[in-house]
Structure 1
Amino acid sequence: MIGVVRARAVLGVAVAVVAAGVGAALSLPAKAAPLETIAKQAILVDMTTNTVLFEKNADERMAPSSMSKIMTGYMVFDALKTGRLSLDSTLPVSERAWRMQGSKMFVELHNNIKVDDLIKGMIVQSGNDACIVLAEGLAGSEPSFAELATKKAKELGLRNSNLVNSTGWPDPNHYMTARDLATLAERLIRDFPEYYHYYSIRDFKYHGINQGNRNPLLYRGINVDGMKTGHTEAGGYGLTASGEREGRRLILVVNGLPSMQARADESARLIEWGFREFSTYALFRAGETIEQVPVWLGAQDTVPVTVPQDMKVTLARADRPGMKVSLVSNAPVAAPIRKGDVVGKVVITAPGFPGKEVPVVAAQDVEKLGFIGRAFAAAKYLVFGS
């Protein structure tokens, strides 16, 4: 029988404890006031809670243009972390890299260039030549590098991406999606925090030529600290951007915009909207006792339950007053119980919010009663009904 056992407050929200079946976790996105964008593809994600705040054609294949260089960056940073490269390593410039068109770092033919400079050339100057030097240094050739990069993309969960070069140079078989780019950006930030600072460098001088970072949001004072622009005729103007404010990190991907100015203005508008209209609320800390759940035939009558990781939820600020938090379990839970066993779930609901479910686990072991104890408990149940 389903019934509320008790309630307590978390952040001013009543937490109801309910006996019921345990279901599967729900996915987000959160909801806010309707939003439109002129971008052909877009996605805005709160990285702190992996919550999609807004999306438009996010799974549509598109030409990622130079935003592809985030994947090249990931591969280079992985090589640095595993020791295959160092920032002081030097890589030779092939004629193919030297002749490469488009945005350039202006590498010198047959010169050996430090990896640190090549990374800056790839990120700040969007150098196609720098990307090819790095790709050839890692895999021997750019096609071989592209094969490795596509394989790594699949491992990272990029479900609809195929890379045939290191630069984003136009090719009908070179594509990604906005969602995949957002996932890639998140993984790069999480996996290589020691190298993310390269994306906030505003200018870099090489071979006597000083070039500014093409990410327009770095200059707008809105807490954006990365990542990469892109532009081709097929893809239009695009930007993958990330910024942090008050402990929240947002990732934005837009593509298919008609001009550089539209890219700058629309990207700023969307990321400001995400920071303004949404907030992240901390509900429970990992290891914190949420409640005591009744135990059947256990050496103790209840077991404390907790969440295995800090529990936060992102939702529209306007929906915060209507948020409800419930602890649902198959109480009483039969002993024996082992620490870490899933014994229920926390369910969060709010108006305009599709809901979120997080498993709760036993915070300690509970042994099963011996024969005499079980017999006594059974007799007690027959007499008193509980």
Structure 2
Amino acid sequence: MPQDADLNFNRLFNMARARFAGAGLLFVALLALVAQPVPAAAQGTFQTPAPSAILVDFSTGAILFEKDADRRMAPGSLVKIMTAAVVFNELHAGKITPDTPFMVSVNAWRRGGGPSGGAAMFAEVNKPVRVEDLLIGALTVSGNDAAIALAEGVSGTETAFAMKMNELGSAIGLTNSAFRNAQGFADPDQVSTAKDMAQLARYVIRTFPQYYPLFSVPDIEWSKIKQRNRNPLLNAGVGADGLQAAWLRDVGYHIVGSALQANRRLIVVVMGAKSEKERIEEAKRLLEWGFHSFEYRQLFAAQTELGRANVFGGDAGSVGLAPREPVMLLLPRNTPDKIVSRVTYTSPLRAPVAKGTEVAKLEIMRGQLKVLEVPLVTTEEVAVGSLWQRALDGATVTVGDTARDLTNQLMAKLKK
């Protein structure tokens, strides 16, 4: 059964150990430094008219701000980020190279090229184009012809390519997204959220740093038509260097952007803005607020034991839990919010347990907002216990189950 414990940062480590040791619960020592008094001005004071928005710290994945970030909307051309991610995976796997030629089919040309009247790279029909050039066309000028050509080149059809998009989305934790095409044409079953788009952007930048600069190519010229990069955030003066913008009738203006200042990278997503002006202003305001209002602090050093998990049938009754890497968090310079942690795992673990096995997670809450989730690993090995130790564990479980059953029966009688 799930085990968890919520503790405020200003509780002392020894008090936590004394309270929870041997009780089958987890404890975590939280740093007193974040409990020091500071003036008020964090998430609660930032407001945006955008229907849905999120600001994420790239390094830690911490959520600095969110407003209705799980609202599902048609993503439009934002899906081209996922299109690129699938192609980047194909490149990484060696299945294709940047110089691999993909044919621009009649379908890609008619539905996404010049004849379509939409955003296009203007690649020539029935002519081969290098994968890298198609990526640039899709990511800098939102070329629908380029996106379709990439999908057909990788998978034969857009439908088959969309299956790869959904498989990758599931693998990287996009829990509220569904993809049906590669270029973002309206489809009632194609949806995503600001939170998922931020997760996707973080995945692309972390996993494919060699390809990420393709998002910021300043301009392209194809079929004697020169076009500038369509991402308005690139020239907003906030250090933005990538991703994608979109617009859909009856939905609004979207943008996914990433910016770097003083070696700190933030990811911003705004969805459903009512105008181009609102989209760029709100994305820019969020980034500026994030860079100026937060600072990094180390909460825990790597391999610091934050709690112990019960072990069934082992030569020890519990095992330590610790983060592999230092736990860093961007914290507001000015906030009255309490910082609270929760460590969860499925109890009990069953012996044998290898050292370094990921079995739990640490969740950090700032006020009501979960801002960070970190995996925890076992700090030592727990071998299978003796026959007597295993019998004792079994008896303990049986007694616990019996007591719980009797309690439930008594409560049921009292309610009658």
TM-score range, shorter chain: 0.7 to 0.9
Residues 64 and 357 (structure 1 numbering): CA distance in 2 closer, same or farther, change over 3 Å?
closer
Report how far residue 362 of structure 1 moved: 7.1
Instruction: Decide which structure has greater helix share.
Output: 2
Task: Structure 1: give runs of 5+ residues left out of the alignment.
Answer: 1-12, 292-302, 328-335, 368-386
Deviates more, 1:345-354 or 1:198-207: 345-354
Deviations 1:122-163 (A, max 9, x none): 001110000011011011111221222123222222122222
Query: What is the aligned-residue RMSD (CA, Å)?
Result: 4.0
How far apart in 1 are the matches of 2:336 and 2:276? 36
Deviations 1:322-367 (A, max 9, x none): 879999xxxxxxxx99854899998978778778786877766799
Deviates more, 1:15-24 or 1:71-80: 15-24
Number of matched pairs: 343
Equivalent position of 1:82 in the other structure: 93
Deviates more, 1:248-257 or 1:125-134: 248-257
**Equivalent residue of 1:279, what SS?**
strand
C-alpha contact 1:24 1:357 (8 A) present in aligned 2:
no
Matches within 5 A, 1:39-54: 39-54=50-65
- Name the aligned partner's letter for residue 64 of structure 1: P
Equivalent position of 2:330 in the other structure: 314
Deviations 1:26-53 (A, max 9, x none): xxxx953422212122111122222222
Task: Structure 2: give runs of 5+ residues left out of the alignment.
Answer: 1-9, 29-40, 308-318, 344-351, 384-416
C-alpha contact 1:65 1:235 (8 A) present in aligned 2:
no
C-alpha contact 2:121 2:137 (8 A) present in aligned 1:
yes
Report how far residue 286 of structure 1 moved: 2.2
Deviations 1:158-214 (A, max 9, x none): 122222211111121221111111111111112212111111222222222221111
Equivalent position of 1:161 in the other structure: 177
Deviations 1:197-246 (A, max 9, x none): 11122222222222111111211221211110011103311101112233
Runs of 4 or more above 6 Å deviation: 288-291, 320-327, 341-362, 364-367
Equivalent position of 1:272 in the other structure: 288
**Equivalent residue of 2:238, what SS?**
coil
Q: Does 1:251 align with 2:251?
A: no
Matches within 5 A, 1:156-305: 156-287=172-303
How far apart in 2 are the matches of 1:224 and 1:287? 35
Deviations 1:18-75 (A, max 9, x none): 41364389xxxx9534222121221111222222222222112101111110010011
**Equivalent residue of 2:45, what SS?**
coil
**Equivalent residue of 2:334, what SS?**
helix
Report how far residue 280 of structure 1 moved: 2.0
C-alpha contact 1:319 1:350 (8 A) present in aligned 2:
no
Q: Does 1:128 align with 2:144?
A: yes
- Name the aligned partner's letter for residue 36 of structure 1: Q
How far apart in 1 are the matches of 2:190 and 2:130? 28
Residues 94 and 36 (structure 1 numbering): CA distance in 2 closer, same or farther, change over 3 Å?
same
Instruction: Decide which structure has greater strand share.
Output: 1
C-alpha contact 1:323 1:349 (8 A) present in aligned 2:
yes
How far apart in 2 are the matches of 1:108 and 1:358? 48
